[in-house]
Amino acid sequence: MGAELLDARPALALLVSATGAGLIMLIGYRARLRAWLAVGAAVLKFVIVWSMLPGVLAGQVYGLTLFEVLPGLALELRVDALGLFFALVSSTLWIPATIYALAYMRGRQGQRRFFSFFALCVATTVGIAFAENLLTLFVFYELLTVCTYPLVIHEGGLAARRAGRRYLIYTLSGGALILTGMVVVQHLAGTLSLSGTGILDSIDNHAALLAIFVLLVAGFGVKAAIMPLHSWLPAAMVAPVPVSALLHAVAVVKAGVFGLMRVVYNVFGVEHMRVLGFAGYLGLLAGFTILAASVIALRQHNLKRLLAWSTISQLSYIVLAISLLTPAATLAGIIHLANQAFAKITMFFAAGAIQRATGKTRIDELDGIGRQLPAVMASFTVAGLSFIGVPLLAGFITKWYLSLGALQAGSGGYMVVLALSGLLNAAYWLPILYRAWFKPPAGVAAAGNTSPLAGSAALSPMMLVPLLICAAYVLLLGVGAEAPAMPFVLAEAAVRLVFGLPGPAP
């Protein structure tokens, strides 16, 4: 483990998009300037985060203390393998998301506010990724809620307001639970640091430990959309597509799951969790959520709501991986952060493109869409197959290591759950693909434009290109997992950290 290196880069990454947001809010009146600011901030952040990759892979840890908020408690940033992985995923995805949003929101009102909060959201996400202690993580966690709220209700109107209110009630109550848990941890452990592998080891007060576990897991579980804390997610579909993409793939839900990881791996520590045995119940809950969400997804008609329910089930894959407490499962959990992100964002981009080009939002309207928007549907198909778990795609990697992890943990039963979930996924993705490719488009004569590319021509390249990039990434993650520059290697480094294993991954 390299020595703790004092480095400004973590704070710089944060500052870049925060100042970007500020500038957009202050001077972002003209579309062109706004575009340059947004994309510029995104690329700059991407460069800074990636610049830390080689160092972290070599075991280096970057740290920076910002403010002494309370005696013994400071706002502190620390970049370790797990944190960098999450920051990597979000900053990489933010560039296509920004470009896509610029195209999608053209001509819509309130763009200045939209893009400044859009930039602020990802700044806070990186803040969560680099938090050294639970307090810093909580500060950015609450800031994330405050920043995403205006995005969720961007459309205005009653439905948006009601969804916004429900979103606030759930996330703020979750925040209060986390705060309570944090106080108990500070009281018992005397510190909230996430740099070690377990600060509660020396505590034997079983009841308090259970209370901490329940409080923190429920608090983070709200954003990780574990049932029964999930119902804000489908309701938040009323937001514009780039926001849903941001919410689901990049920022909000991932923050919840990342928080759970920090709690299980850094607050409790793997060995202590095994001894306490609370993780088993979390696993059961995750398993239930995977299946229940998929069953509900079957009955969805609106494409975006289907995506929402699919996210809820996919997130619980990660929660299940966390609860198994074995190296392989942890690896699956971390890598699924990226797999689910890229696949889900591709699907959202596709849904947005379909809605923008053809105005269709319901599944039964998607007949023959493949011919109209071949590129869009091709990437949608790649993402769909990845979720089903077809080999050579990202989803397969997760399922592979997850089952390996389940076996390692000796709870083979989850293999059944994974298989069942694969089937259910197939049950709701394949009909869409079949309908899109093999069914004639409804009333094609009326549409008149039979040329395959006509439909996608209406889409601006700024929407198509990010779509294809993400789909390509899903493929890349699936095929070239072992390749050096791929996130897989970083995930392994994170696992070694969590389990304190010196050598390469299992």
Partner 1 sequence: MRALAAFADWPHLLPALFLLPLAGAALLPALLRTRPAVAWASALAVALATTMLAVLALVRLLGDGDYGYAMAGWAPPLGIELRYDRLSAITLLTGALVSLALLFARREMTGAGRRQAVLYCSLVLILLGGMNGFVITADLFNLFVFMELLSLPAYALVAMSPARGAALAALKYLLPGAVSSLLVLFGIGVLHALTGSLNMADVAVRLTPGGPSPATVLALVLISVGLLVKAALFPLHFWLPDAHSAAPGPVSALLSGLVVKMGVVGVVRMFDVFGPALGGAMQAFENLLLILGVLAILTGALAALVQHELKRMLAWSTVANIGYIFVGLGLAGSAAVSGGIAHVFYHGLTKAGLFLAAAALVERTGLHDIDDLRGLGHRMPLAATALSAGLIAVAGVPPTAGFVGKWQIALGALEAGRPELLVVVLGGALLALAYGMRVINALFFRAPVSDQVVTASEAPASMLVPSVLLVALALAGGLSGARVIEFILPFAESLGGR
Residue with Cβ nearer partner 1 (208 or 454): 208
**Closer residue to partner 1, CB minimum distance, 127 or 287:** 127
With H, G, I as helix, E, B as strand and everything else as coil, classify residue 208.
helix
Report which residue type is found at 363.
I
CB of 215 to partner 1, least distance (A): 10
> Mutual orientation of helices 252-261 and 81-104 as an angle, nearest 10°?
170
Nearest one of 103, 115, 94 to 469, comparing CA atoms: 94
Residue among 343, 360, 345, 352 nearest 436 (CA): 360
Q: Are the CB atoms for 329 and 405 separated by under 8 Å?
A: yes
C-alpha distances out from residue 86 to 216, 228, 252, 261, 468, Å = 19, 25, 12, 11, 22
DSSP one-letter code for 131? B
User: How many angstroms separate the Cα of 105 from the Cα of each of 99, 217, 359?
Assistant: 10, 36, 15
Write down the least CB distance from residue 130 to partner 1, Å. 16
Residue 420 Cβ vs partner 1, minimum distance, rounded to whole Å? 38
Helix (H) or strand (E) holding 432: helix 413-438
List CB contacts of 457: < 8 A, sequence separation 6 or more: none
Whether omega for the bond prior to residue 228 falls within 30 degrees of 0, making it cis, is yes
**Please, what is the minimum distance in Å from the beta carbon of residue 154 to partner 1?**
9
131 beta partners: 77
Which amino acid does the sequence have at 484? P
Pick the closer one to partner 1 by CB: 229 or 286: 229
Closest CB 172 distance from partner 1, rounded Å: 6
Q: Smallest distance, Å, CB 116 to partner 1? A: 13
The CB-of-385 to partner 1 minimum distance in angstroms stands at 40
Nearer Cβ to partner 1 (211/214): 211
Q: Which residues bind partner 1 (CB under 8 A)?
A: 67-75, 135, 138-139, 142, 146, 150, 153, 156, 161, 164, 168, 172-173, 175-176, 179-180, 183-184, 186-187, 211
DSSP state of 236: G
Q: Is the CB of 68 or the CB of 364 nearer to partner 1?
A: 68
CB of 404 to partner 1, least distance (A): 40
Output the smallest distance, CB 28 to partner 1, in A: 15
Nearer to partner 1, 43 or 74 (CB): 74
Q: Of 65 and 460, which CB lies nearer to partner 1 in the complex structure?
A: 65
How far apart (Å, rounded) are the C-alpha atoms in residues 427 and 184?
45
Give 193 or 289: the residue with its C-beta nearer to partner 1. Answer: 193
Q: Cβ closer to partner 1: 135 or 296?
A: 135
β-sheet with 61-70: strand ranges across = 4-6, 61-70, 73-79
CB 409 within 8 A of CB 481: no
User: What is the residue whose two structure tokens read 């991954």?
Assistant: 505
277-284 contacts at long range (C-beta below 8 A, 24 or more positions apart): 278/209, 278/210, 278/213, 279/322, 279/323, 279/324, 279/325, 280/323, 280/411, 282/217, 282/319, 282/322, 282/323, 283/320, 283/323, 283/324, 283/411, 283/414
Question: What is the CA angle 88-89-93, rounded to 5?
Answer: 115
Task: Give least dist CB 123 to partner 1, A.
Answer: 16
- Work out how close the CB of 36 gets to partner 1 at its nearest, in angstroms, rounded to a whole number: 24
Nearer to partner 1, 151 or 286 (CB): 151
208 close to 184: Cβ distance less than 8 angstroms:
yes
Q: How far is the CB of 413 from partner 1 (least distance, A)?
A: 36
Residue 5 or 26: the one with the smaller Cβ distance to partner 1 is 26
Task: Record the tokens describing residue 457, joined without a space.
Answer: 């021509």
Of residues 163, 129, 344, the one with CA closest to residue 248: 344
Q: Which is nearer to partner 1, 110 or 413 (CB)?
A: 110
